[in-house]
Homo-oligomer: A and B are copies of this chain.
């Protein structure tokens, strides 16, 4: 069962290797832009949840605003992201991807999606669902609300297309 001392070393190790290789694909592309992983994460979430505010982004990424500042500034300066004043609360800055930003987000996601697809290629819907369920169950319960797994949960949130 590959369990020693009651510890599941096998999956611990697999998770490490899997995530490392999973992130290596976009890393190569990012290097061409002088960007790092932090830029990727910001761009990903801005693209996924267009119109989210700075505070919401900080909450999702679980980093400080000082950490976000540099990265977000670079994405704005390079015309990948734009900030719009919040309509309800003018203190807020709603973040949106530009066409250029969407294109980069897509380019970064493509190899990752290909890798996932390849890993699931011989599997049916069952395995895909199981993997999704497993990954979701690995997330801290309090934070599961942050996740938009599919269109079902999406509708509950207020930041849709805009």
What is A's interface to B at a CB cutoff of 8 Å?
Answer: 1-2, 5-22, 24, 41, 44, 48, 62, 106, 109-110, 112-113, 115-120, 123, 127, 130-132, 134-140, 143, 146-151
Contact = CB atoms under 8 A, between A and B. Distances in A.
A11 to B, nearest CB: 5
Given A11-B132, A14-B135, A120-B137, 17 more contacts: A1-B150, A2-B150, A6-B113, A7-B109, A8-B116, A10-B132, A10-B150, A11-B135, A13-B148, A15-B135, A21-B138, A21-B143, A24-B140, A123-B130, A130-B131, A131-B131, A131-B134
A116 B16 contact: no
Contacts of A9: 48, 109, 113
